[in-house]
Structure 1
Amino acid sequence: MSAIHDLMAAFQFPFMRTALMAGCATAVVCAIIGVYVVLNRIVFLGAALAQLSAAGIALGFLLGLHTTSLAILLAVAGVLFLSFRPRTSRIPVDGLLGIVFAVAWASSILMVARSAQGAEELNFLLQGNILTASHGDVRLVLVLLAAIGGLHLLCVRPFVFVSFDPETARTLGLRTRLWTILLYTSLGTTIALTIHVVGILVVFALLVLPPICGLLLGRRLPSVFLISVIVAVVGVIAGLFLSFRADLPSGAAIVAVLGVLAAAAQLFRRVHA
Structure 2
Amino acid sequence: MSPADFLTDLLNPDLAFLPKALLIAVMSSIVCGVVGCYVVLRGMAFIGDAVAHAVFPGLAVAFVLSGSLVIGGTIAGIVTAVLVAVFSQNRRIKEDSVIGVFFVAAFALGIVIISKAPGYAGSLQQFLFGSITGIPDDDIYVVAGTGVFVLGIVLLLHKELVTISLDRETARSMGLKVFWLDLALYVLVTLAVVISVQTIGNILVLALLITPSATARLLTDRLGVMMLLAPAIGAFSALVGLYVSWSWDYPTGGTIVLVLTALFLLAWFCAPRQGLIAKQRLR
TM-score between the two structures when normalised by the length of structure 1: 0.90
Q: Aligned pair in 2 of structure 1 residues 267, 37: CA closer, same or farther (>3 Å)?
A: same
Matches within 5 A, 1:56-71: 56-62=58-64, 67-71=69-73
What is the distance in 2 between the residues matched to 1:205 and 1:263?
Answer: 14
AA aligned to 2:218 is L
CA deviations over 1:161-214 (Å, ceiling 9, x no partner): 111122222232221222121121121223234323442134321101101001
Q: Aligned pair in 2 of structure 1 residues 246, 218: CA closer, same or farther (>3 Å)?
A: same
CA deviations over 1:208-253 (Å, ceiling 9, x no partner): 1101001111120011111111110111001000001111111111
Which runs of 5 or more residues in structure 1 are unaligned? none
Which residue of the partner structure matches residue 271 of structure 1?
Answer: 277
How many residue pairs align between the two structures? Answer: 272
What is the distance in 2 between the residues matched to 1:66 and 1:3?
Answer: 35
SS at match of 1:155: helix
Per-residue deviation at 1:3? Answer: 5.3
What is the distance in 2 between the residues matched to 1:44 and 1:86?
Answer: 15
Q: Aligned pair in 2 of structure 1 residues 97, 88: CA closer, same or farther (>3 Å)?
A: closer
Which residue of the partner structure matches residue 168 of structure 1?
Answer: 170
Contact 1:159 1:179 in 2 (8 A): yes
Which residue of the partner structure matches residue 237 of structure 1?
Answer: 239
What is the distance in 2 between the residues matched to 1:195 and 1:86?
Answer: 26
Contact 2:88 2:95 in 1 (8 A): no
Per-residue deviation at 1:67? Answer: 4.1
AA aligned to 1:44 is F
Which runs of 5 or more residues in structure 2 are unaligned? none
Matches within 5 A, 1:144-155: 144-155=146-157
What is the distance in 1 between the residues matched to 2:9 and 2:39?
Answer: 33
Per-residue deviation at 1:46? Answer: 1.6
Paired-residue identity, %: 26
SS at match of 2:55: helix
Contact 1:201 1:251 in 2 (8 A): no
Per-residue deviation at 1:7? Answer: 4.4
1:257 paired with 2:256, answer: no
Matches within 5 A, 1:77-226: 77-85=79-87, 87-88=89-90, 90-226=92-228
Contact 1:30 1:203 in 2 (8 A): no
AA aligned to 2:31 is V
What is the distance in 2 between the residues matched to 1:36 and 1:82?
Answer: 18
Q: Runs ≥4 in structure 1, deviation > 6 angstroms?
A: none
Q: Aligned pair in 2 of structure 1 residues 196, 94: CA closer, same or farther (>3 Å)?
A: same
Bigger shift: residues 237-246 or 184-193: 184-193
Which residue of the partner structure matches residue 5 of structure 1?
Answer: 4
What is the distance in 1 between the residues matched to 2:94 and 2:159?
Answer: 29
SS at match of 1:178: helix
Matches within 5 A, 1:46-65: 46-62=48-64
What is the distance in 1 between the residues matched to 2:199 and 2:138?
Answer: 10
SS at match of 2:221: coil
SS at match of 1:84: helix
AA aligned to 2:23 is M
What is the distance in 2 between the residues matched to 1:256 and 1:163?
Answer: 28
Q: Aligned pair in 2 of structure 1 residues 50, 238: CA closer, same or farther (>3 Å)?
A: same
Bigger shift: residues 83-92 or 40-49: 83-92
What is the distance in 2 between the residues matched to 1:89 and 1:155?
Answer: 25
Contact 2:68 2:139 in 1 (8 A): no
What is the distance in 2 between the residues matched to 1:15 and 1:61?
Answer: 19
Contact 1:213 1:228 in 2 (8 A): yes
Contact 2:193 2:209 in 1 (8 A): no
What is the distance in 1 between the residues matched to 2:232 and 2:192?
Answer: 19
